[in-house]
Structure 1
Amino acid sequence: MFRTMSLLRALIGTSRLVRHTPRLLAALPPDDDVLLDPPDSRLAPALVAAALDDPEPAAKLLATTRDAAEWEDRDRYAIRLSTFAYRRDGWLEHWLATAPGDPDALLVKAQLAVRRAWESPARAERLAEVGPLIEAAAAAAPEDPVPWRLALDHARGTHASPAVFETLWEQAVRRAPHHYGSHVAALTYLSAQCCGLRGETPRTPHAAHHECFDFAEQAAEDALPGSLVQALPVRAAFEQLVAGPRAGHPVCGDRIDAAADRALALSARHPAGHLWPGEVRNLLVYVLAARGRWPEALAEFGRIGPHASSFPWSLTADDPLRGFLDARSRAVREVARRTPLRAARPEPYPAGWGEADGDGRAGPSGHYA
């Protein structure tokens, strides 16, 4: 009897996969169309020019973000430009040679130096050497929080004490109280050090995760509804999901689900397919999948569209793009397997899910942009 029931369940599951998988896949961009970390329309020309050893578009882009106090964009662009310079830095050397005191060039230089030091076998020693570069970038643009975010990352790598970190944190939030990058740096420090921003007393891993959630949830409460800081709790959830099994303590399931709910609300405030919240959406689908919330995860993959991000997949797979595609394929299978044979479409998908747009491609709300 039990064998018969098992066979019946297997047959039903296979029938559901056969019926629903093609429709679910048609509502997503094909694997070959998915790009890893694609640049937006402002960054792309700067990268093309940098490939030709021309730093002027990058200089104009970062100067614009600084003048307009577009700190989130400035942070992302500085990281992407330094990533490009990691492999090909002739354009950056030319920029620094012609404008040695340019605050934007100094920022990219410092970001690049920190990355190279971080990846060195002699990390602590190399990081100690690049401290003056961060200080120069901060001094060149006193109002800019991004060098202070970089200083927070640097402090984590040099194992700075909580008291030192607190001083840097105060400088960062004084310039931009809700800067997402600075908050991520602070949260990552908390997770790595197993202690709070205030006080020197070490914490157990279990207590440390609670402190991370406390910090992230309070920051989200204080932030505006559309701010990326609203996604800080889901970042804390990811940290616990990755570290929890190794640390050997229970996962804070209720807090992880609440963090995912908050991030879903943030994602819903932004158009599907947009790059700006793309990394947050990639992080969110990882957490949703880990919690077995497959319909919500698949709907979020639809909002991501063809824009995969290296984070978090670079931390969970050798090939981040393959990791993204594998996670998306599993979400399709899990939703298909759970959908009744006669259901028109799984819920809770957004209106328009799976409907083709003008060029025949299907997507959430009929389009990706």
Structure 2
Amino acid sequence: MALLPSFIRPTRMTKRFARPAGRPPARDEAVLDAPDELLSPALVAAGRGEYATAAGLLAATRAAAEWEWRDRYVRRLAAFARSRTEWYEEWLGAAPDDPGALLVGTQLAVDRAWPSPARAELLGEVSPLITAAARADGLDPVPWRIALDHARGSRAGHRYFEELWEAAVRRAPHHYGCHVAALRYLAASWHGSHRECFDFADRAAQDAPADSLVQALPARAAFGYLTDGCGPAVPRARLDAAADRAIELSGRLPAADPAPAEVRNKLLYVLLRLDRWEDARVQLRLIGPYATSFPWGRFSDDPLGHFLRLREHLETAGPGAAPAGLLTGPPESLDGRRGHARAADH
């Protein structure tokens, strides 16, 4: 099935949403999933039961068309609301048509349904929320990213998914979240056809601006392959090329910054699986104190502790030493076939 590539659009228009500089944690103070200087006050206020800061933050991303930041903030606010709902319920009650409130509520509903054995049925009840969020702002791609995740979770067919994808990239051709959602759908629906996932990721990266997070999409495909490995082997050269593209992107982004931390943590894993130890150490320095649940939560119930053990090993081991016991994965070589790992986290 030839899915998705025809909808990739070549555009180089980007916008920047200025963010205040802040003092990062000290190098030895590793933190997990650290919020940036704008999200942190919104989470603190939400902890006090106040929603105005979160509403203002999402309104600012919408006004500046900063869709990547908007997507990231929606995810984090929804995750917070999952355990502390009062502030969000008050927000929705006071402003039921607020596009930001609708987005957070939609993401929250998807997140709540995802772990259930009845996921597909529960997600069916979320569809009206996605429609309302999309209608609240016709330019925003984030509702469509949620729709793409929803389609994967509800086992939607390829034709319907293509319609959602076309709508998403029409609004933001290089939106990373939408591309990740598409990559996950392809992997899930094709049961490990990793070559097809690489084809999609490579085409998207080639068409994206040099500083777009989509440049990291092939490395995400490599991560999927290295943690699954079913299907025909992907050539080593293609895995290295994916890592090289992500390394180049990482070099363009601020060092020791929470925004690109997940991309770098994922790249670190890929480099270690490829035995590229010196490149991995470079990424470790660029990561600084900012560990992320993805990917380390795939391999440990204590992702921060896992990252710290891995960091200590890399900082003290000699050149070329493998971090034994720290990279959970299939034991066979990269050129062989491997069994299934557990499905990718939502």
Tell me which interval the TM-score lies in, with the shorter structure as reference length: 0.7 to 0.9
Once residues 50 and 250 of structure 2 are traced to their aligned partners in structure 1, the CA distance between those partners, rounded to angstroms, is: 36
Does the 8 Å contact 1:295/1:335 carry over to 2?
no
The correspondence of residues 71-82 of structure 1 with structure 2, limited to 5 A, is 71-82=67-78
Contact 1:294–1:334 at 8 Å: present in 2 too? no
Q: Between Structure 1 and Structure 2, how many residues are aligned? A: 296
> In the alignment, which residue of structure 2 is the partner of 1:188?
184
1:45 aligned partner, one-letter code? P
Aligned to 2:275: 292
The answer as to whether partners of 1:241 and 1:251 remain within 8 angstroms in 2 is no
For 1:221, the equivalent position in structure 2 comes to 206
Task: Check whether the contact 2:148–2:182 (CA below 8 A) recurs between aligned residues.
Answer: yes
CA distance in 2, matches of 1:89, 1:252: 47
Contact 2:275/2:320 (8 A) holds in 1 = no
CA contact (8 A) 2:39 2:73 kept: yes
Match of 2:133 among 115, 132, 137: 137
Q: Given the alignment of the two structures, is residue 236 of structure 1 paired with residue 221 of structure 2, yes or no? A: yes
- Which whole-Å CA distance do the structure 2 matches of 1:78 and 1:105 have between them? 9
- 1:315 partner SS: coil
CA distance in 1, matches of 2:274, 2:318: 14
TM-score (normalizing by structure 2): 0.83
Q: Who is 1:209 aligned against?
A: 194
How large is the Cα RMSD of the aligned pairs? 1.4
d(CA) in 2 for partners of 1:155 and 1:334? 44
Post-superposition Cα deviations, 1:313-358, rounded to whole Å, max 9, x if no partner, equal: 11122211122222223323444566xxxxxxxxxxxxxxxxxxxx
Higher share in helix:
1
1:316 corresponds to which of 271, 278, 299: 299
The separation in 1 between residues aligned to 2:284 and 2:126, in whole angstroms, is: 39
Q: Distance in 2 between matches of 1:190 and 1:252?
A: 19
Task: Look up the SS of the partner of 1:79 in the other structure.
Answer: helix
Q: How does 1:298-309 map to 2 (within 5 A)?
A: 298-309=281-292
- Is it true that 1:52 corresponds to 2:48 in the alignment? yes
2:261 corresponds to which residue?
Answer: 278
Q: Which residue is equivalent to 1:255?
A: 238
Provide structure 1 residue ranges, at least 5 long, that are not aligned to the other structure: 1-27, 195-203, 339-369
Q: Note if contact 1:145-1:175 (Cα within 8 Å) is conserved in structure 2.
A: yes
- Matched to 1:61, the amino acid is L
Cα offsets for 1:134-183 (capped at 9, x unmatched): 11111111110000000000000011111010000000000000000000
Indicate the residue corresponding to 1:95 in structure 2.
Answer: 91
- C-alpha displacement at 1:249, in angstroms? 4.2
Q: Is residue 151 from structure 1 mapped to residue 134 from structure 2 by the alignment? A: no
| Paired AA for residue 50 in structure 1 | A
Q: Deviations over 1:17-66 (max 9, x none)?
A: xxxxxxxxxxx932xx1000011000011000000111000000000000
Within 5 Å, which residues of 2 pair with 1:340-359?
Answer: none
**Matching residue of 2:19:** none
* Residue in 2 that maps onto 1:110: 106
Task: Check 1:250–1:44 CA distance in 2 against 1; reply closer, same or farther (3 A cut).
Answer: same
Tell whether 2:163 aligns with 1:167: yes
For the 8 Å contact 2:67–2:175, the answer to whether it is kept is yes
Q: Identity percentage over the alignment? A: 57
SS at match of 2:258: coil
- Larger Rg over CA atoms: 1
1:325 partnered with 2:302:
no
Structure 2, gaps ≥5 residues long: 1-25, 322-346
